[in-house]
Structure 1
Amino acid sequence: MKNKILKSALALATLGQLFLTSAAIATTEVPVTIIHAGSLIDSTSDKVIKNASVIITDNKITAINEGFTSGSSEDTVIDLSDYTLMPGFMDMHTHISSQNSGPASYMEAFTLNEADYAIKGVMYAEKTLMAGFTTIRNLGDGNNETVALRNAINKGMVKGPRIYTAAKSIATTGGHSDPTNGRSKSIMGDPGPLQGVINGEAEARKAVRQRYKDGADLIKITATGGVLSVAKSGQNPQFMDDELNAIVATAKDYGMTVAVHAHGKEGMLRAIKAGVTSIEHGTYMDEEVFKQMKKHGTYYVPTIMAGKWVAEKAKIDGFFPELVRPKAAAIGPLIQQTLANAYKAGLKIAFGTDSGVSAHGDNALEFVFMVEAGMKPIEAIRSATQNAADLLNISDTVGTIEVGKLADLVAVKGDPLKQISLLQNMNFVMKDGVVYKNM
């Protein structure tokens, strides 16, 4: 009899403990954010999911459910049942601390200070985020201001996309992005690796190490002439093989990728064979270049917007210096066809705009041009999500809508697969679990 009483007491105690534990779990359950998406493009495939709920705990996606999940009174429910939800977009070629405004832009190096560019960066960063771009690569600045901007955004001090910056890009003497091009002899000086100008293998290594010391996330080099620099050629090769090999090998030692501005074929081929990560612009690509890029797994970042913008502005007397104008007129109109050819050739393509040439906040216009060039809308979207994340080596955290990834999400009203221009009117922006726009 005593044993039966003891067993009953133990059973009641265990049951009581179970209730207490359940109650404790119930009272400590963390409130979640639930997004009801009428259409969901997760960027893992071409499939569009209808009527889905994305559950977000803190800053991560913790569940994706069929249908519209009802939340508790403690949960936040966001109704996007008339919208298409997608991963946050990623622009792989920006210059976030400046914006071309014609003749005045060429004077800014003489009239503006580091603080001026930093303030501009704060303004342009918020515009970019509100346009639906939650991550960007910044491929060149003047004073490492984008390193400070990146850090301020990461600390929550200012609003902006997640930034991966190359800081000051690397050029050769007189090459595209030599900051003293076009200056008089009295103020030209002789910039070196500290300023991002190199000659020879040793200086190439030093310049990469200096970028690392400055806090850069990756390396950007200008392997050929460019359009907007005050220099004659827009496409000649500007690095020798030993310099390129030194840059790539040193960058690899420091865990950094290498993005390459290039218009001319020979400069591209040298860079690709050295093992760079991506070719930007790529205007004069041909079948030989396509073959080498596929062999080496090199990404292509087209920047059609920049090409169209400079071609249009080249028609305006006095907008560009006379040395720049013919380059803009010749090179600018070609990039969209280059993308069409690259797409047919099966290259890996990541989204990039070169914003800072054209206006920040207009980034999504690039989608329209990509589709005009022959890409399917779903593939253009994937270039700015899954492909861009792969290029940045961050596909384990962003780029698709999957459980365990950061809650970087954007939405537009309607179906962008039927009307790609809808992406230019962003209605909802969430970055790292925080809603920045919902209208």
Structure 2
Amino acid sequence: MKTTLFTSRLLFGKDLEPRDNQLVVICDGVIESVRAGQASEADLVLKEGDTLLPGMIDCHTHLALDARIPGHLGLMEDSEAKQTIRALQVVKDNLQAGITGLRAVGDRYYLDVLLRDMIATHQLQGPWMQVAGIGMKGVHGHGYVGKSFSGTEEFRRQARLNMYNHTDWLKIFITAGAPPTESVVNCFLTREEVQTVVQEAKSCGLKTSAHCIGGQGLRYCTEEGIDVVDHCYWVDSTDIDLIKKHGTTVCFTPGVFLDDTRLPLCPESHATSVIRTRSEVIRRLSSLVVSNPKFVIGSDAYHTYLYKEIEYMTQLGMSRIEAIKGITVYAGDLMGRKVGSLEEGYLADLITVSKDPLSCKNALGNVNFVMREGVVVK
């Protein structure tokens, strides 16, 4: 099936180049061509003045963990049925908000695998997904969505169980979630446990991701070949050097510390920690941004609010266009999919917004039109 869209403005290619009065030809869900043209040539004319761009990709989220709900962390002990119902709502909400793809980095019961496959086979409408299955943490460690293991053979067995269930990633939780009250960042896994997970993933062509705020855990992750370190709230100059040296990708989730609307929904102890350490986290993350690592961006389960992370990244010193690439171009590259760029040969995952996203604050928070693989869903 072939469809031709006309838009008065779009952001073309990996450079997000603004182009006016363009025709986008889509065949079987893939962009066939992009060229100058007129509305009279199109099957579908988009709203005058709107900007067409690639759909957003949330690179760090959890399906059954919904940070919009008060007490959401405790709800990870809910039954499988309750968690699945919550995840179904999350899938729907994200797509309507213009999030056409996501990376789910830890859920219970393999519900992420189930929903990914149902979407891929058109039994369910939602963003495409890459998923990690059961997140792996130490018995004494952090990770509300993870399960506890101890020793290399326990981690190896769970890694293999995840792969048996056809996950796309393996995920570990290696440090605490919040910065320490003292100078030392706790590390809850051994180097050998990290190494085991990486080896198992590489043996089957999977990538690895680690919840890590810095310190000894970050050293283990970078040196042993973890592909993505998530959060990095407490990195120092040594950590940043390791990230750069090993070419590790950073997944920024700044809203956890910069967005005050999240605080009433979290335990009081977490909110207190955020307020206590916010200025130092900003300083450390800003230093990481200046170092220009490979990066992507995620909401950490603050579903539909991925657009806010763009503003927080600009507060940390990143240009707006680079931040937008972090949820489109760079995200698609990390996932190894032909997504995240409006150009020939890429999936027609597209959205429109009323304001110019390259110059207007929170422009991506008001999505008017969503297309997933050539099908209009909003």
| Aligned equivalents of 1:128, 1:333: Cα separation in 2 | 30
Which one has the bigger strand percentage?
Answer: 2
Per the alignment, residue 63 of structure 2 pairs with 96
Per the alignment, residue 144 of structure 1 pairs with 110
Per the alignment, residue 417 of structure 1 pairs with 358
Cα distance, 1:272 vs. partner? Answer: 0.8
Per the alignment, residue 161 of structure 1 pairs with 127
Seen in structure 2, the aligned counterparts of structure 1 residues 380 and 313 have a Cα distance that, compared at 3 Å, is closer
Q: 1:54 aligns with which of 3, 17, 24?
A: 24
The yes-or-no answer on 1:368 pairing with 2:368 is no
The answer on whether the counterparts of 1:307 and 1:334 sit within 8 Å (CA) in structure 2 is no
| Aligned equivalents of 2:362, 2:273: Cα separation in 1 | 29
C-alpha RMSD over aligned residues: 2.5
Seen in structure 2, the aligned counterparts of structure 1 residues 233 and 429 have a Cα distance that, compared at 3 Å, is farther
TM-score of the aligned structures, taking structure 2 as reference length? 0.91
| Aligned equivalents of 1:211, 1:123: Cα separation in 2 | 24
- Counterpart of 2:28, as a letter, is D
| Aligned equivalents of 1:102, 1:89: Cα separation in 2 | 22
The answer on whether the counterparts of 1:43 and 1:87 sit within 8 Å (CA) in structure 2 is no
- Counterpart of 2:318, as a letter, is M
Q: Secondary structure at the match of 1:82?
A: coil
Q: Which runs of 5+ in 2 are unaligned?
A: none
Per the alignment, residue 80 of structure 2 pairs with 114
Seen in structure 2, the aligned counterparts of structure 1 residues 345 and 150 have a Cα distance that, compared at 3 Å, is same
The answer on whether the counterparts of 1:196 and 1:207 sit within 8 Å (CA) in structure 2 is no
Q: Secondary structure at the match of 1:219?
A: strand
Per the alignment, residue 273 of structure 1 pairs with 223
Aligned residues with identical type, % of pairs: 28
Cα distance, 1:77 vs. partner? Answer: 1.9
Cα distance, 1:339 vs. partner? Answer: 3.5
Per the alignment, residue 255 of structure 2 pairs with 305
The answer on whether the counterparts of 1:235 and 1:262 sit within 8 Å (CA) in structure 2 is no
Seen in structure 2, the aligned counterparts of structure 1 residues 44 and 264 have a Cα distance that, compared at 3 Å, is closer
Q: Secondary structure at the match of 1:410?
A: strand
| Aligned equivalents of 2:197, 2:17: Cα separation in 1 | 41
Q: Deviations over 1:34-58 (max 9, x none)?
A: 2222222124125322221111112
| Aligned equivalents of 1:36, 1:291: Cα separation in 2 | 46
The yes-or-no answer on 1:213 pairing with 2:180 is no
| Aligned equivalents of 1:319, 1:58: Cα separation in 2 | 43
| Aligned equivalents of 1:78, 1:58: Cα separation in 2 | 19
Q: Which runs of 5+ in 1 are unaligned?
A: 1-29, 180-194
| Aligned equivalents of 1:392, 1:234: Cα separation in 2 | 33
Cα distance, 1:337 vs. partner? Answer: 3.9
Q: What is the aligned length? A: 376
The answer on whether the counterparts of 2:215 and 2:239 sit within 8 Å (CA) in structure 1 is yes
Cα distance, 1:33 vs. partner? Answer: 1.6
The yes-or-no answer on 1:44 pairing with 2:10 is no
The answer on whether the counterparts of 1:102 and 1:320 sit within 8 Å (CA) in structure 2 is no
Q: 1:426 aligns with which of 348, 362, 367?
A: 367
The answer on whether the counterparts of 1:51 and 1:81 sit within 8 Å (CA) in structure 2 is no
Per the alignment, residue 399 of structure 1 pairs with 340
| Aligned equivalents of 2:360, 2:32: Cα separation in 1 | 30
Cα distance, 1:156 vs. partner? Answer: 2.1
Seen in structure 2, the aligned counterparts of structure 1 residues 197 and 151 have a Cα distance that, compared at 3 Å, is same
- Counterpart of 1:67, as a letter, is G
The yes-or-no answer on 1:254 pairing with 2:254 is no
Per the alignment, residue 139 of structure 2 pairs with 173
Seen in structure 2, the aligned counterparts of structure 1 residues 333 and 218 have a Cα distance that, compared at 3 Å, is farther
Higher Rg of the two aligned structures? 1
Cα distance, 1:198 vs. partner? Answer: 2.4
- Counterpart of 1:289, as a letter, is D
Cα distance, 1:129 vs. partner? Answer: 0.9
Per the alignment, residue 133 of structure 1 pairs with 99
| Aligned equivalents of 2:370, 2:70: Cα separation in 1 | 35
Per the alignment, residue 347 of structure 1 pairs with 293
Per the alignment, residue 19 of structure 1 pairs with none
Instruction: List, as ranges, runs of 4+ consecutive aligned residues in structure 1 with deviation greater than 6 Å.
Output: none
Seen in structure 2, the aligned counterparts of structure 1 residues 102 and 150 have a Cα distance that, compared at 3 Å, is closer
| Aligned equivalents of 1:270, 1:364: Cα separation in 2 | 32
The answer on whether the counterparts of 2:23 and 2:38 sit within 8 Å (CA) in structure 1 is yes
